[in-house]
């Protein structure tokens, strides 16, 4: 009877066979990443494929954290690792221990990825750039205490403006500890608020040697700094992420020292020139004002200051006379018109008619004016208004006029 194996035993046997294979235990594979997933544990799960096949892969956190770039779907890579069997699922997969881009350096790819990320967040925008102080009293320098950089900066600043204090915050400028030390230095300088501007600097080197200034922790520390930061890393042709985030980039550390401090001799010459221009301006202004004063002092207004007052006073008297005359003429005109109206009113007045011998006959009973003989009867009591009084009488007889009788 044949020996019967369990599923676990089969998977275990296959795993042992594969593990003993020298090629599969240490190999390099190239292909394209797909189905990439970064687990919350820090492990990476993905598939690597070519035109005809796929291979499942896993990279545990220990190795994944050492990568300088972020893997992405569609990225062509070269992976170092070993093939083994995952016994539970009965499938073989590649356990990746290292990875690099295929055709482009890992550091260069990491640089471009971080650059795109920070640029999208606005860390490079000009609106965030702080203005450098014109004449800082204290300059903080974040660099190595043993390199030539700090000596160059001290020499340049001493030559340009000896009164300025240089405060060195020594840090490692390359290696694994460098990014954390640089970020910590920026944070400590901001907390102390002792310096007016900060220079982060190191000399030239390869991309690997300058890599500390391409780390995200350094970039964000520069962006968060309340004190203006000048990045002076490498030579003129070297660019780092720190250069893009900093408030100003200097091509070299020595150039940073020249940027941050004006030359004292040039400032003195500038002050001297401005002082001379100010004196000349004051003298010219005084000369112009003196000439103007002399010209004005010889004018009639200064020689006879009350002449204008007298002239205006006489003019006022004449105008007052004209005004009174005009008022009087207007009053006379109004008075004459009023007299005419009074005469017309008097002519129409009933009193004037009575004065010429006429009279007004009214009923003594209701004071109604009698205009017609038919309005009275015999024995009616009448009141006759005369010019100088009233006659009360009784009607004895009413006679019609001859024309009415006809």
pLDDT score of 5: 79
| Section 92-100 average pLDDT | 88
Residue 180 has what pLDDT?
94
| Contact indicator for 192, 159 with CB cutoff of 8 Å | no
Greater model confidence, 5 or 64: 64
pLDDT cut 70: percent of the chain above it: 93
pLDDT of residue 351: 66
In this predicted structure, the answer to whether residue 246 has a pLDDT above a threshold of 90 is yes
- Going by the DSSP 8-state scheme, the letter that residue 238 receives in this structure is -
Residue 69 or residue 61, greater confidence: 61
Judge if pTM exceeds 0.85: no
**Strand-by-strand arrangement of the 229-233 sheet:** 165-170, 138-143, 197-202, 229-233, 248-249
The answer, yes or no, to whether residue 160 has pLDDT greater than 70, is: yes
Task: Indicate whether 405 pLDDT > 80.
Answer: no
Residue 168: the pLDDT is: 93
With cut-offs at 50, 70 and 90, classify the pLDDT of residue 227: very high
Q: What is the CB-side half-sphere exposure of residue 50 using CA atoms within 13 A?
A: 6
Q: Residue 253 to residues 136, 145, 174, 364: CA-CA distances in angstroms?
A: 17, 14, 16, 132
Do residues 72 and 38 touch, judged by C-beta distance below 8 A?
no
Those residues with Cβ within 8 angstroms of residue 80's Cβ, 6 or more apart along the chain or in another chain: 26, 27, 28, 96, 97, 98, 99
Q: Is the pLDDT of residue 301 over 80?
A: no
Residue 350 has pLDDT above 90, yes or no: no
Helix (H) or strand (E) holding 94: strand 91-101
Choose among 165, 168, 186: nearest CA to 228: 186
Are 186 and 229 in contact by the 8 Å Cβ rule? The answer is yes
Tokens of 348: 């129409």
Q: Which parts of 78-233 fold into alpha helices (H)?
A: 106-121, 148-160, 178-192, 216-224
Q: Is residue 406's pLDDT more than 60?
A: no
pLDDT at 32 over 90: no
Q: Average the pLDDT over each of 168-172, 256-260, 298-302, 316-320 and give the range with the smallest value.
A: 298-302
Residue 397: strand, helix, or coil: coil
Average pLDDT over residues 46-50: 89
What tokens appear for 65 in the block? Answer: 């954290």
pLDDT at res. 399: 82
Q: What does the pLDDT read at residue 300? A: 67
Decide: helix, strand or coil at residue 243. Answer: helix
The predicted structure's pLDDT at residue 242: 93
Please give the average per-residue pLDDT across 334-352, as a whole number.
Answer: 79
Q: Which H or E element spans position 78?
A: strand 76-86
What secondary structure, in 3-state letters, does 252-320 show?
A: CHHHHHHHHCCCHHHHHHHHHHHHHHHHHHHHHHHHHHHHHHHHHHCCHHHHCCCHHHHHHHHHHHHHH
**20 has pLDDT over 80:** no
Q: Compute the average pLDDT of residues 220-242.
A: 90
Question: What mean pLDDT is predicted for residues 152-168?
Answer: 87
* Chain centre to alpha carbon of residue 2: 86
pLDDT band at 65 (very low <50, low <70, confident <90, very high): confident
pLDDT surpassing 60 at residue 1: no
Q: What is the pLDDT of residue 76?
A: 83
């Amino acid at each position: 009877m044949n020996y019967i194996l369990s599923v676990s035993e089969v998977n275990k046997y296959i795993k042992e066979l594969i593990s003993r294979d020298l090629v599969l235990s240490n190999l390099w594979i190239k292909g394209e990443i797909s189905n990439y997933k970064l687990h919350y544990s820090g492990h990476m799960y993905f598939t690597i494929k070519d035109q005809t096949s796929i291979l499942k892969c896993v990279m545990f956190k220990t190795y994944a954290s050492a990568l300088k770039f972020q893997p992405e779907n569609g990225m062509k890579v070269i992976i170092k690792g070993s093939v083994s069997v995952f016994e539970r699922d009965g499938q073989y997969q590649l356990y990746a221990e290292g990875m690099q881009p295929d055709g482009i350096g890992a550091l260069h790819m990491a640089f471009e990825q971080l650059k795109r990320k920070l640029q999208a967040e606005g860390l490079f925008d000009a609106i965030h750039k702080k203005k450098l102080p014109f004449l800082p009293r204290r300059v903080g320098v974040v660099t190595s205490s043993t390199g030539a950089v700090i000596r160059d900066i001290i020499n340049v600043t001493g030559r340009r403006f000896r009164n300025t204090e240089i405060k060195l915050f020594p840090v490692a400028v390359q290696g694994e500890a460098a990014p954390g030390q640089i970020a910590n230095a920026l944070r400590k300088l901001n907390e102390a608020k002792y310096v007016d501007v900060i220079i982060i600097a190191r000399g030239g080197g390869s991309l690997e040697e300058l890599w500390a200034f391409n780390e995200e922790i350094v970039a964000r520390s520069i962006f968060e700094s309340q004190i203006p930061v000048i990045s002076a890393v490498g030579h003129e042709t070297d660019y780092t992420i720190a250069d893009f985030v900093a408030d100003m980039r200097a091509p070299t550390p020595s150039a940073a020292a020249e940027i941050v401090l004006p030359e004292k001799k040039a400032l003195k010459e500038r002050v001297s020139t401005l002082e001379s221009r100010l004196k000349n301006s004051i003298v010219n202004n005084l000369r112009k004002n003196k000439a103007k004063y002399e010209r004005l002092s010889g004018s009639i207004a200064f020689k006879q200051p009350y002449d204008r007052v007298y002239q205006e006073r006489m003019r006022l008297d004449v105008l007052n006379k004209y005004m009174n005359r005009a008022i009087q003429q207007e009053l006379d005109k109004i008075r004459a018109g009023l007299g005419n109206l009074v005469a017309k009113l008097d002519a129409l007045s009933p009193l004037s008619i009575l004065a010429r011998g006429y009279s007004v006959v009214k009923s003594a009973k209701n004071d109604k004016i009698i205009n017609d003989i038919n309005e009275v009867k015999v024995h009616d009591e009448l009141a006759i208004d005369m010019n100088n009084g009233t006659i009360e009488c009784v009607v004895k007889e009413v006679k019609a006029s001859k024309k009415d009788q006809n």
